[in-house]
Each structure stands twice: as C-alpha cells, then as structure tokens.
Amino acid sequence: MGKLPSLTGMRAFEVAARCGSFVVAGEELGVSSAAVSLQIKSLEDHLGKKLFLRKGNRISLTDAGEVMYPKLAHAFDALSDAAQMVQRNKHRRQLVVSVLPALADLWFLPKALEFKERMGIPLDIRVQEDPIDFERESVDVRLTFGSTFYAEYRQRTLFSDVAIPVCAPDFWAQYNDPDGSLSNVPDNKLIYNNWGPIYASEPLWPEWLRAAGREGAALAGPGLVVSDMSTAISAAKLGAGVALVPSTLVKPGLESGALVAPSKISLAMKKDYVLVVPNARAEVSAVRSFLKFLELE
C-alpha cells in the first residue's frame, strides 16, 4: 500500500465536493475557506491530479474529482456510522462478572437477574474456575472463594459460611439416627466434593466425622466423588447420599424441602466468599452500582 494522502485533506475535499463551496465547507469544518483551499491544494499535489475547477468563487469537480468523491463519501459515512455506534453504546457497556461455578447458579444467578431488572445494566456472566486474568479477559468483577489469587486487587467479603451435611428427606427417613452423627449412613453414601487441584483446606468428611465424635471412624471409601458443588447438591437431592456443602448454597433447597440438614454439627469454612475488583475498574459507575446492590459499598 502506498503512502496515503492526508486525512485532513481528504476530509476537506469530501465536504467541499458535497457542499459545492469552499466557504460552506469551511463553516462545516470550523476553518476558513482559505484553509480548505490549501488543504485541497496539498491533496491535489500529492495525487498529481486536479480535483476541482476553480472559477472565481465557484468550484466544480474535475473528472478525477468525480471518480474520487463517491468512494471518499462512502468511507466517511462508514467512519461516521462506526463513531455513532460507539457513542450510543459507551454508556451501555456490559458489566462483565466472572463467577466461580459453585456460586453461579446456587447463589448469584437470582441476584444477577434482579440487578439487571432493577438497574437496567446489561450483564455478561462468565462461569470460570480460578485463577482468571482480569486484563486479558476484560473482566470487571470476580466472585470467588478466598482471595489467594488476587491479592493485588480490591476485595469485599460477600459472606462467611459453614459446611453442613444435607440429603434428601426420603434418604434420611431410611438412614436416620437420633443424634445426627450419621452413624447409620454407610460410607458409600457419603458424597465427596473434590475441590480440585488448587484447594486443599476445605472441610472433608473425615474432619466432619471427628467433629461428630466419630474420631475412630474408618472410612471404607467414598461412594461418589464429584468435582462440582452443584453436582454434589443435585446428587443429594436425588437420594444418592449425604453431601457436605456450604450452608448458604443449599439454603433454597432446605427452604423448599428438597433437602434436609440431618445434623446440627457444622464446620467453619476456612475462607470467605469474596468479590474482587481491579483497581482500575473500582470507580466505574456500573461496578459501583453492582457493589451497592450487593450492599458492599
């Protein structure tokens, strides 16, 4: 591609050709008619072609000008359309929220729908495991468990939680015990949630059994291992066994009666659920509205 002519000169030519006057073109461009004339003269010198025939204050397009004008008019129309599209959408940019899978449908989604309805701010919800790259993925807000991966960013605590055992009512009717120690539940009916390779500190069944006074209980082995909290809860609802899960995430299931909590024994989660915001995004109006909606600001 050869060296392009001056964009200023091409714009001056397009306006002058459309208006049929250097004076009117100058008024539209906010410069003098002499400036328009000089810009077009420079463009003509670059092209080696005359674009206008000048007769006093009157101008008309040459053959070269007739060929060039429609293409430039189309190009500037396209540029104008692009600018207007950006202008229209600059205040309607989607709020990009990255969410840990366990939080997405069990806690966040109802709140997200209410936020979108009440505030009228479009949402782009991305369900992702940790860690994420805020800058590369253009994420505004991250909802996750613990802040290990995001120490350099601003953080707000969403909630602290405890892990509790839950199961289907029919399951507990079959395996219930009077003290809630789950002593009648076979080992192969304990549902294990594998937190994945990056988490190692969260409550597991051996720890809960010790808290229940079953210090010497020897587990023959789990009956079901899943790598997703939602799946563990769904399996418990279907009667597959007892799942040990954060209480906040099973609150809807307990309230609806789809699940029961067969014991009062709980284990504190080692970390809080947190909201993380890059410093550069913290003052964006949509982000601030989101924090206020969640009562974090």
Residue 262: Cβ within 10 Å count: 22
pLDDT the model gives residue 288: 94
**Percent of residues, the chain, with pLDDT higher than 90:** 53
Residue 250 has pLDDT above 90, yes or no: yes
Per-residue pLDDT tens over the stretch 62-95: 998 899 998 988 888 888 777 765 555 454 468 9
Report how far residue 64's alpha carbon sits from residue 69's, in angstroms, rounded to the nearest whole number: 9
Residue 163: Cβ within 10 Å count: 23
pLDDT the model gives residue 147: 83
Residue 127 has pLDDT above 90, yes or no: yes
Residue 220 has pLDDT above 80, yes or no: no
- Single-letter amino acid, residue 239: G
Q: pTM for this structure?
A: 0.66
Per-residue pLDDT tens over the stretch 31-63: 998 999 999 999 999 999 999 998 877 889 999
Q: Mean pLDDT across the chain, nearest whole number?
A: 88
Do residues 167 and 254 touch, judged by C-beta distance below 8 A? no
Task: Say if residue 131 is preceded by a cis peptide, omega within 30 of 0.
Answer: yes
Ranges 8-12, 214-218, 224-228, 279-283: which has the least confidence: 214-218
- Single-letter amino acid, residue 238: L
Reduced to 3 states (helix: H, G, I; strand: E, B; else coil), residue 197 is coil
Per-residue pLDDT tens over the stretch 163-181: 999 999 999 999 999 889 9
pLDDT the model gives residue 252: 93
Residue 261 has pLDDT above 60, yes or no: yes
**Tokens (6 digits) for 279:** 């410093």
| CA 220 vs CA 82, 161, 183, 189: distances in Å | 65, 29, 14, 11
Domains parsed from the chain with CATH numbers = 7-89 (1.10.10.10), 95-160+272-293 (3.40.190.10), 162-268 (3.40.190.10)
